[in-house]
Amino acid sequence: MSQILICIDESKVDIRCLRELLEKQGHTLTSMILPPGDAEATIRAAAERDIVISGPERWDARAAEACGGKVRLVIRFGVGLDNIDIPALTERGIAVANIPGYNAPAVAELTLLHMLNLSRGFTRAEADYRKAGVVTVGSGNLLQGKTVGLMGFGHIPRQLRRLLGGFGVRVLALDPMLTWDEARAWEVEKVEETETLFAESDFVSLHLPLTPQTAGMVNERLLSVMKPTAYLINTSRGGVLCEEDLLRALAKGWLAGAGLDVTVQEPLPLHSPLFAEEKICLTSHVGGTTLETDQRGQEMLAESILQFLAGQMPENIVNPEYVFHVNR
């Protein structure tokens, strides 16, 4: 039977569902907290495992070299794969997978929450009322009638489009994989220029993976074309947004505010200037975390792992070509 490692803090996430599903089939599941940047810790923890359920720890070429030959599958408890060097693991015959879409409803809901909060100022009104009894009158704007621009149109923005259906908004979508027929079916306007999305939207919502191509993609050039009444929401990856440019853009009045569930550094240090900017509403990368999504994620992990151990190719393997490098 297989030795499986999950890189997670069990004091924060209840993994009884996953443990039961795997141990019922005779496999052993061990949990461990690994520092995100400590490659040596990753190597030591994974050295005798068959499968690793990855958290935020880094899987680079050195880890792949050290663990190749024993570790057969690295599967992310999440969607983003920016902490995994996929080509390096492929070369060592290690399969890589994630669980796409499992948390899409939760992230979409939080994105909508940021939109409503930015437009109506709920958090500030609640804080003023609680601290000083200040009653905020006549502030904020309706979401109805506004234009929402979705940068990316994968699982999460599609869920968000469903949620926006009752708000009477115009929705733009920019995604090279989105066809015109799909755009019509989803009732979104397909745009092909990033500047158009930023210039026409009252809310720009980022839904991008972090890759070398998208790192720092949302910068001063794009922020400068936004409406001064518009808002930016990022619930994808902190690295796709240049935070220094955002602070500068807010200071210059190029946009009205931002809602960030993700930042370049997580957790955000208390001295970060993002905390000092009143036009930014911050949440601590909690978009995909609910009891229901954790349960669904564990079920998807178990299903994929058991398929893999049975000699099948789960559809969420992102590097099927790994098979050509096994035992080389």
Six token digits for residue 105 = 């409803």
Residue 140, strand partner residues: none
Q: Active-site residue among 266, 292, 315, 321?
A: 266
Alpha carbon distance 300, 294 (integer Å):
10
Alpha carbon distance 206, 218 (integer Å):
9
Task: Look up 158 and say whether it is catalytic.
Answer: no
Q: Active-site residue among 19, 92, 285, 296?
A: 285
Task: Look up 325 and say whether it is catalytic.
Answer: no
Alpha carbon distance 43, 47 (integer Å):
6
Alpha carbon distance 146, 151 (integer Å):
16
Task: Look up 237 and say whether it is catalytic.
Answer: yes
Q: For residues 102 and 296, is the Cβ–Cβ distance under 8 A?
A: yes
Q: Active-site residue among 57, 237, 243, 296?
A: 237
Q: How far is CA 58 from the centre of its chain?
A: 16
**DSSP strands (E only) in 70-213:** 73-76, 95-97, 147-151, 170-174, 189-190, 203-206
Residues with catalytic annotation? 237, 266, 285
